[in-house]
Structure 1
Amino acid sequence: NVMKIPIAMVPFIVQLLLQVSFASYATFVLIDERNVLTAEIAFVAAALFNVMKIPIAMVPFIVQLLLQFFVSVKRINNFLNAEELEVGSVSHDKTRKEPL
């Protein structure tokens, strides 16, 4: 089911966030020998990564909603631009509830 795909992706995104934070710490330390990973820098960076966790975890849901939006707009556009039905193509039988 397409609706369950974003929910299934959340653990992978959380794992990706952990890897990105580790890679950021490693890059900070390895890019220049004067960069020292102190507790102050580490905790500030950890707080920033924690703030970014929820918006990044929402990306699959947003992508899914955008895809549904574009499909809906395409269907509505096709419906509104469709050829008109002829007047005689729909008739109503008085003995039935729905038109034929």
Structure 2
Amino acid sequence: MAYGTALAVLADPTRRKVFERLRYGPRAVNAIASGLPVSRPAVSQHLKVLKGAGLVEERTEGVRRIYSLRREGLMELREWLDSFWSDALEAFKLEAERSHKAKGSR
């Protein structure tokens, strides 16, 4: 149930903002923290939680830590969400078929 972990981790609004700042590519902690209403150490803690959940990864460049999205970390969540769409389409198909048969028997 990794999707449950991803949902729980991303439920925090600040953590979600930190995560969203990585959408367009890797960034250093200072760049991620810039403009957020929390301290750089708080952003580092949020990144630690995101990393623990498998949603981000880090690499070192000199003394800087560069964070990036780990798209694989979102795959299970996406598959879970997509299953709702598949279920809805199947229900729609069954209803359309039932309605079509009902019209044909009149």
TM-score by length of 2: 0.34
Determine which structure has greater relative contact order: mean sequence separation of CA pairs < 8 Å that are 6+ residues apart, divided by chain length. 2
Structure with greater strand percent: 2
Which one has the bigger helix percentage?
1
TM-score by length of 1: 0.36
